[in-house]
Amino acid sequence: MTSLPLVIAHRGASGYRPEHTRAAYELASEQGADAVEPDIVVSKDRVLVLRHENEISETTDVAAHREFADRRTTKYIDGQKLTGWFTEDFTWAELSTLRATERLPKIRTANVRHTGDQGILRLTDLLDLLDGADRRIGMVAEIKHATYFESIGMPLDELFAGELSAAGWESDGRLTIECFEKTVLLKIRERGIRGGLVFLVEASGAPADQVAARGKEALQYADYLTREGLEELAATVDGVSVNKHILQKPGGADVVSLAHEAGLSVFCWTLRAENSFLAKGLRHGSTPGDFGDWRREFESIMRMGVDGVFADQPDLAIEVRDSL
Write out pLDDT tens, residues 40-94.
999 999 999 999 999 999 999 999 999 999 999 999 999 999 999 999 999 999 9
Please name every residue paired with 37 in a beta bridge, in sequence order, or none if there are none: 10
Q: How confident is the model at residue 3 (pLDDT cuts 50, 70, 90)?
A: confident
Q: What's the pLDDT at 1?
A: 39
Q: How are beta strands 265-271 and 308-311 bridged, if at all?
A: parallel
Q: Is the pLDDT reported for residue 212 higher than 50?
A: yes
Give me the chain's average pLDDT, please: 97
pLDDT digits (tens, 9 = 90+) for 266-324: 999 999 999 999 999 999 999 999 999 999 999 999 999 999 999 999 999 999 999 99
Q: How confident is the model at residue 2 (pLDDT cuts 50, 70, 90)?
A: low
Q: Which amino acid is at 265?
A: S
Q: Is 207 left (phi over 0), alpha (psi -120 to 50) or beta?
A: beta
Element housing 223 (H / E): helix 221-224
Does pTM top 0.85 for this prediction? yes
Within the chain, strands assigned E span 6-10, 35-37, 39-42, 48-50, 73-77, 80-84, 138-143, 175-179, 196-201, 239-243, 265-271, 308-311
Nearest to 195 by CA among 161, 243, 226, 150: 161
Q: Is the pLDDT reported for residue 146 higher than 70?
A: yes
Q: How far apart are CA 33 and CA 315, in angstroms?
A: 7
Q: Which residues have CB under 8 Å from 43's CB, separation 6+?
A: 49, 87, 88, 90, 91, 92, 95
Q: How far apart are CA 30 and CA 70, in angstroms?
A: 41
Q: What's the pLDDT at 260?
A: 98
The yes or no reply on domain 6-53+121-323 and CATH 3.40.50.720 is no
**What 8-state DSSP symbol labels residue 117?**
S
Q: How far apart are CA 103 and CA 234, in angstroms?
A: 35
First to last CA, the chain: 10
Q: Which residues have CB under 8 Å from 204's CB, separation 6+?
A: 220, 221, 222
Q: How far apart are CA 40 and CA 33, in angstroms?
A: 20
- Assign 164 to helix, strand or coil: helix
Over pLDDT 70: what percentage of the chain? 99
pLDDT digits (tens, 9 = 90+) for 4-27: 999 999 999 999 999 999 999 999
Q: How are beta strands 73-77 and 80-84 bridged, if at all?
A: antiparallel
- Assign 198 to helix, strand or coil: strand
